[in-house]
């Protein structure tokens, strides 16, 4: 291995007591390839078996914790004990490759497709539609709805423990329900769940505390609890870096194992509110102050790009699209073959790279998402 990449392969001890063999994380990537009944499919298991051997930790595609919290077609669920056998197969598949297995979980809130939920009943903190084209106006959740969903996150965590996962990641990013409660765009409430920044933080913190309560009750083994967040929103009103600092300040006191910053591009700059030219991840690292490990992510393809990102001091680096393009990315760097890393897809790569149909169709039909070229 080239010595300039040695930092990538240092082990990392998380606060829970679990040690990761290196600093590389398989990022959660939706693959829309679960069985029609919401269970984990063989195609998904094959996908994970192919690309989790090198990463120190692997975070699954997101699972929905309630039936009306689904966000994508062909997504696997975790809202009933009947899903545990499939979840167990998924955890075993990842762990057999030598990676730590983390189940990402969410509720899509107002981003739930109407056709995917009973009677098209999309729910959210307030009756405010997303600015995404074609978004429905959701029903405002009652206090009872809210406390029920918090319990559902706890129950999904229990199932993850029973299925043998090493941890869970609370998906509070990308505009889904947990972020919707924190966002001034989607949360216009004036009760205990909305209004001031502190009240908009109430739901995210309640979910964290419920997940941690369930972990303490159901396992004595070390168990990871991570939290993913998006640092800003494009909407007005929307989340700013100042809001993000308030979120980080609250989360870093909750004894989490990591904070996962959701970014499309690792070096992206703040939209507004900061005068200098540093990247968002650098502001966040400063704010966290080393109190909890941070995962950075976003458009990292080459070994040099990963090494440069780690120079910011970020402890962990998640690789998403590149581990789909190059499943042996970690192994090639470790064995000194970084020059052999593929960074583009060709249209005949699906079978060779063990990419499920749902994900492959999304790649082919979403221009600009992946670097896709004609066959060589």
- Distance of alpha carbon 122 from the chain centroid: 22
Could you give the C-alpha distances from 254 to 127, 257, 278, 297, 298, in angstroms and in order? Answer: 30, 9, 27, 22, 25
CA distances from residue 60 to 100, 102, 239, 282 in whole angstroms, order as listed: 11, 6, 26, 26
Which bin fits 200, alpha (ψ -120 to 50), beta or left (φ > 0)?
alpha
Distance CA 48, CA 25 (A): 13
Minimal CA–CA distance to 144: which of 214, 192, 198? 192
Active site residue 258: no
Backbone angles phi and psi of 123, in degrees to 5? -120, 155
Per the DSSP assignment, residues forming a β-bridge with 13 are: 19
Judged by DSSP in three states, 374 sits in coil
R_g over Cα of the chain? 20
Q: Which of 176, 245, 258, 283 is catalytic?
A: 176
Check residue 184 and report its DSSP letter. Answer: T
- Beta-carbon contacts of residue 91 (< 8 Å; ≥ 6 apart): 101, 103, 160, 163, 164, 165, 166
The CA distance from 257 to 273, in Å, is 29
Catalytic residues, which ones?
176
């Amino acid at each position: 291995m080239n010595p300039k990449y040695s930092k990538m392969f240092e082990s990392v001890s998380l606060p829970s007591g679990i040690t990761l063999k290196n600093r590389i994380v398989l990022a959660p990537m939706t693959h829309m390839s679960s069985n029609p009944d919401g269970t984990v499919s063989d195609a998904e298991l094959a996908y994970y078996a192919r690309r989790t051997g090198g990463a120190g930790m692997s975070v699954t595609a997101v699972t929905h914790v309630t039936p009306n919290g689904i966000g994508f077609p062909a997504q696997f669920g975790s809202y009933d004990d009947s899903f545990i056998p499939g979840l167990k197969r998924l955890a075993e598949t990842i762990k057999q490759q030598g990676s730590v297995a983390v189940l990402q979980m969410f509720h899509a809130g107002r981003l739930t497709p109407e056709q995917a939920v009973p009677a098209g009943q999309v729910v959210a903190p307030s009756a405010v539609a997303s600015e995404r084209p074609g978004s429905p106006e959701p029903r405002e959740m009652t206090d009872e709805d809210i406390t029920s969903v918090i319990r559902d996150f706890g129950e999904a965590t229990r199932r993850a423990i029973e299925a043998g996962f090493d941890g869970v990641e609370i998906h509070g990013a990308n505009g889904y329900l947990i972020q919707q409660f924190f966002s001034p765009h989607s949360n216009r409430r004036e009760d205990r769940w909305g209004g001031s920044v502190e009240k908009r933080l109430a739901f995210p913190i309640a979910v964290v505390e419920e997940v941690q309560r369930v972990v303490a009750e159901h396992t004595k083994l070390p168990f990871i609890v991570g939290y993913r967040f998006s640092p800003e929103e494009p909407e007005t009103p929307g989340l700013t870096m100042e809001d993000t600092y308030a979120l980080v300040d609250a989360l870093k006191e909750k004894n989490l194992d990591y904070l996962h910053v959701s970014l499309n591009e690792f070096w992206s700059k703040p939209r507004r509110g900061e005068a200098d030219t540093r990247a968002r991840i650098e502001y966040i690292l400063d704010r966290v102050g080393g109190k909890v490990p941070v995962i950075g992510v976003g458009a990292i393809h080459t070994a040099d790009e990963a090494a440069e990102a780690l120079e910011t001091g970020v402890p962990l680096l998640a690789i998403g699209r590149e581990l789909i393009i190059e499943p042996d990315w970690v192994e090639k760097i470790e064995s000194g073959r970084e020059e052999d890393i593929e960074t583009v897809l060709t249209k005949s790569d699906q079978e060779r790279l063990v990419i499920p149909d749902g994900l492959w169709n999304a790649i082919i039909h979403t221009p600009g998402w992946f670097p896709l070229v004609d066959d060589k």
